[in-house]
Homo-oligomer: A and B are copies of this chain.
Amino acid sequence: MKTIKKNAKKNIDKCTVGIAGLGLMGGAIAIALKKAAGVRPPGPRLFAHDSNGGILTRACSRGIIDQGFNDPGEMLARCDLVFLCLNPSAAIRFAGRWIGCFKYGALITDIAGTKETVAAAAEQLLRARADLDFIPGHPLAGAEKGGFAYAEKVSFTGKNYILTPLSQNRPENLAFLKEFIHHLGFGRVTETTASDHDQKIAFTSQLCHVIAAALVDCEADRKITRYGGGSFEDLTRIAMLNTPMWTELFLENRFLLSRIEQFEKSLDKIKTLIKNGRPAELEERLAAVRKQRIAMTGE
């Protein structure tokens, strides 16, 4: 077994980046990298694999990637940094299947919206190949609709990014990945455990998507938006979700059910005040909510 040099921090401009899955997020990362290279050349060399060869051709001809690979193994053998931009289960399957093909010492990361299952899979992979590193991550950016066609609608500027490092991760790789994430345009990078991530994201993301879906689901009138002033539209824009991915995220996040139940209780309290016609208590609760929401975002 070769020795891995300590403090051999990768260099953005000298590394080759591979994106597995050129969908919404993979495409957005590629576009952000090419934009950043325009500002500060030369930038990394950028490869991509996608099961849809047509997307690779389009991305190549538009200069979004340097080369497309139909064969993942061929690409992985040349990449210093690999972004797995697939649904959680597909990312895990992909990494397991091609484990033998990654370049020696490569750094792997992913973008899945739940992190516990990915983190467990990553630990297992690192036991099989100790030269690799795998730092699970979650860029908190997106668009209502999925797919490469919507990638350019995604903005990373100032957005949050969560990393859930494993105890095995090398500090120099963690430092490099954070630098790379800022290079893509992201703002705050927060490090936490996979379980803390899932607990918080169950609230800020998955619960919100469940609510949006339930809200659309309880109204059959497609002309209802004539009676809309923005609230309904804002609350339900995310209901135009990528259904296979969100099905996975809903089922994989073990904190989601309790978050839904917490919300149900909170909704029931407000409903009860309305039902019982309690203006003073209702106004007091709404005032507390208003104060809390303003404190949450400083808006």
Footprint of B on A, CB under 8 Å? Answer: 139-142, 144, 159-160, 162, 188, 190, 197, 200-201, 203-205, 207-222, 224-241, 243-244, 246-248, 250-251, 256-257, 259-267, 269-271, 274-275, 277, 279, 282-283, 285-290, 292-297, 299
Q: How far, in angstroms, from A295 to B235 measured CA to CA in the complex? A: 16
List the number of copies, as a whole number. 2
Which residues from B are CB-within-8-Å of A295? 222
Q: Are B270 and A190 in contact (CB under 8 A)?
A: no
Q: How far is the CB of A178 from chain B (nearest CB, A)?
A: 15
Which residues from B are CB-within-8-Å of A260? 267, 271, 274
Q: Are B205 and A232 in contact (CB under 8 A)?
A: yes
Which residues from B are CB-within-8-Å of A227? 140, 160, 162, 190, 197, 200-201, 203-205
Tell me if A's interface is mostly helix, strand, loop or mixed: helix
Which residues from B are CB-within-8-Å of A207? 215
Q: How far, in angstroms, from A219 to B199 measured CA to CA in the complex? A: 12
Q: Are B213 and A225 in contact (CB under 8 A)?
A: no
Q: Which residue of B lies closest to A227 (CB)?
A: B200
Q: How far, in angstroms, from A224 to B205 measured CA to CA in the complex? A: 11
Q: Are A232 and B208 in contact (CB under 8 A)?
A: yes
Q: Which residue of B lies closest to A292 (CB)?
A: B216
Which residues from B are CB-within-8-Å of A277? 251
Cβ-neighbour of A215 out of B159, B162, B238, B266 (below 8 A): B266
